Chain A
Amino acid sequence: MPSQITNYQCPACTGPLHFVGSSGRLECEYCGSSYSVQEIEALYADKEEAAEAAGVQAQSAEAAQAAEEYSFQQGAEGLKVYSCPSCGAELFCDETTAATSCPYCGNPTVVPSQFHGQRKPDYVLPFKLDKKAAVAALKNFYKGKKLLPRAFTDNNHIEEIRGVYVPFWLFDGRVTADIRYAATRVRSFTSGKYRITETNHFDVRRAGTLDFRRIPADGSKKMPDPMMDSIEPFDYSELKPFSTAYLPGFLADIYDVSAEEASERAVRRACSTSITEVNATAAGTYASCTPVSQQVDMPRFQAHYALLPVWMLATRWNDKTYLFAMNGQTGKLIGDLPVSMGRWWAWFFGIAGPLAAVLAAILFLM
């Protein structure tokens, strides 16, 4: 039975191939050969097809077996077991894992059946920044953080760094907005001994549509939403039609949050922006303009499925894991850092003390 997974190996030396963002090619770190995405796609088309077919067949068999009994391969932990075609080791993967590397032989592996049918992404945004850039960005991120414990920067070491293609839903849609306002215009003038303030009241209504394109919402339960939102934006002009040839060397997950579920966040964001835009058309000529009723919605949308590049970095300090995410295309890095209360108080007294002394000198001595 053919393997369900594909190893991308150098055609020249059979060493593992990795996609390198800076060159946009797949490179062999052993013999130095490099290949374009198209060349590898052509070389591995047959293998992938066979692996996909095997995977689909296995999934069907598992589904049939699951109807009668628990699948030993999809046990309580929801893991899938694959066999590495290079070294034969068993790979235990999450249900959503689509690309990983063998922990024994280090060969990058892709599970083509995970991208079968509806689960095949429309686009992939290749990594542009490598692991070194991510490490450098993290070190740079620590700079200027006044409350960061010194021991964190001194003793902290990166526990894990992973380049992950995160599944994202990109929503295109049209928001319809219908908002009514109570608005006023005010005029003041003098008449005899009186200052007269005249307020004209208006019933204002604005209705219309606004188009949004590719609002991202991550489709992975494993990824914290605030982190994925905070590393936006991605430059969509570099989106490529999906190909597994971009995945070797990185991890990739398939979505486990449906487009319907993810759309709630995207629609909420689009509506918020739409309200502001429509308000601006109403408020311009009035002294006050207060919304009294509004109907804003995105009744229809189109979801595109894309894999976007994210570097996930984990560090450990004081028995606590700190997670950081970096946009693999732009280098924007975010994450929460520990706060040193000692430093907090030092800054507090360092500011308050001298300021109090200066104020006292001004108020009592001058």
Chain B
Amino acid sequence: MKKRLFALLLALLLLTAFAPAALAEDTAPAEESAPVEETAAPEETAQPEETAETAFPYVLDQAGLLSDSQRQALEQKAAALSEQHQCSLYVVTVQDHTSLNYDVYEAAKGVFQYYDLGWGAEKNGVILLLSMNARDYAFAGHGSGETICSRESSWLIEDEFLDNFRNNDWSGGFDDFLDACDTQLTKLESGEDVNAGAEIVTGPDGLDYHSYNNPYETREPIILPRVLAVIFIPIAVALGVCSVFKAQMKTAKEATRADEYLVPHSMKLSRKEDIFTHRTESRTLIETDSGHRAGGGGGGSSFHSGGGFSGRSGKF
């Protein structure tokens, strides 16, 4: 029931953007339909029904973040890289992912699975989903995409694009995403370690932080604050102590209160009114998802794996 509901919502959500995009794209990624055999004729590999099923654009900008020219340029780049690595690279933007799934990572995975995305029989691919209302992102990989979306490798990929998104540079961010996937897939193909170079710090909240952006890390103070501390803290302490000593030298002060002369229990209240006048209310949205807890730019991200997918989600 849940799956059916997801499918219905997803279909409705993507229908308007997806169909015209598919029609408009002469170079729709028919190559996703099946593994391309070098010995096989193109007509034989491109099954009509498979083409219809997988005529999903590489760049689906439902949130309207990109201009036509930007979208087309990214589409072409994604198509070229997908073909080069035989691993489809998708970018999807939506205004609100919660109609698909409250969890942005599950929503990204759901799109990939529902539309049977991915390259060839292995369904190699990586999908990046941006949800604009809550500034959530998630990317999930399958097949060779899953390999480059390991905990460390996914950290290296998101490290490339997150700064762009935090500065609202959407086109640049997607471009960096594609480049980062290209780099990691190239490493994978050449037998290099895709996880090399990742410096992940896991905070007590369970989220992964970039080592340079870990709010829980005790950073080495830079030299100037230390010098200032060495100068001003002793001065402040010495001034405080000397002020106390100086205050001891002047003991005569005019009295301002008469507490000692108040007759005990003599206070008699003749009027005691507490009248309710009005009520004001303020509401604050609670961030419940663990990936959301880290808040906006600069927060941590969550690694996910299982079910043939792995990936990462967080906020930008």
Q: Residues of A with Cβ closer than 8 Å to B?
A: 144-148, 178, 183, 190, 193-216, 224-227, 229-230, 232-233, 266, 268-270, 272-274, 276-278, 281, 325, 334-339, 344, 347-349, 351-353, 355-356, 359-360, 363-364
Contacts and interface: CB of A to CB of B under 8 A. Distances in A.
B238 A347 contact: yes
A226 B242 CA distance: 23
A237 B168 CA distance: 80
A336 to B, nearest CB: 5
Size class of the contact patch on chain B: 35 or more
A363 B254 contact: no
A348 B239 contact: yes
B286 A195 contact: yes
A276 B256 CA distance: 12
Contact of B237 (A178, A349, A351): A351
A119 B275 CA distance: 52
A312 B20 CA distance: 101
A199 B275 contact: no
B41 interface: no
Contacts of B245: 145-147, 344, 347
11 contacts: A199-B282, A209-B268, A212-B261, A229-B253, A266-B258, A269-B261, A334-B251, A337-B250, A344-B246, A351-B241, A356-B233
B283 interface: yes
Contacts of A276: 257
A91 to B, nearest CB: 31
B16 to A, nearest CB: 27
A199 B274 contact: no
A218 to B, nearest CB: 11
B252 A232 contact: no
A364 B266 CA distance: 62
A253 to B, nearest CB: 19
Contact of A226 (B235, B249, B253): B253
Contact of B267 (A148, A178, A208, A216): A208
A269 B250 CA distance: 21
B235 to A, nearest CB: 6
Interface stretch (B52-60, B84-92, B108-116, B224-232): B224-232
B262 A211 contact: yes
B237 A355 contact: yes
B278 interface: yes
Contact of B273 (A205, A211, A226, A347): A205
B67 interface: no
A363 B258 CA distance: 50
B270 A204 contact: no
A197 B249 contact: no
B248 A194 contact: no
Given A230-B252, A334-B251, A355-B238, A193 B285 contact: yes
Given A205-B271, A355-B233, 14 more contacts: A145-B245, A145-B249, A147-B245, A201-B277, A215-B261, A226-B254, A230-B251, A272-B256, A334-B252, A338-B249, A339-B246, A344-B245, A359-B230, A359-B233
A194 B249 contact: no
A232 B266 contact: no
Contacts of B251: 230, 334-336
Given A210-B267, A273-B258, A352 B279 contact: no
Nearest to A181: B274
A249 B275 CA distance: 63
Contacts of A274: 262
Contacts of A209: 266-268, 270
B270 A339 contact: no
Contact of B274 (A190, A204, A214): A204
A260 to B, nearest CB: 18
B262 A336 contact: no
B262 A212 contact: yes
B263 interface: yes
Contacts of A273: 257-259, 262
Contact of A194 (B260, B270, B274, B283): B283
B268 A233 contact: no
A335 B250 CA distance: 7
Contacts of B242: 147, 344, 347-348, 351
Contacts of A148: 249
A145 B248 contact: yes
Nearest to B255: A229
A206 B253 contact: no
A290 to B, nearest CB: 14
A212 B281 contact: no
Most B CB within 10 A of own CB, among A204, A232, A363: A363
Given A201-B277, A356-B234, A210 B266 contact: yes
A211 B286 CA distance: 53
A355 B250 contact: no
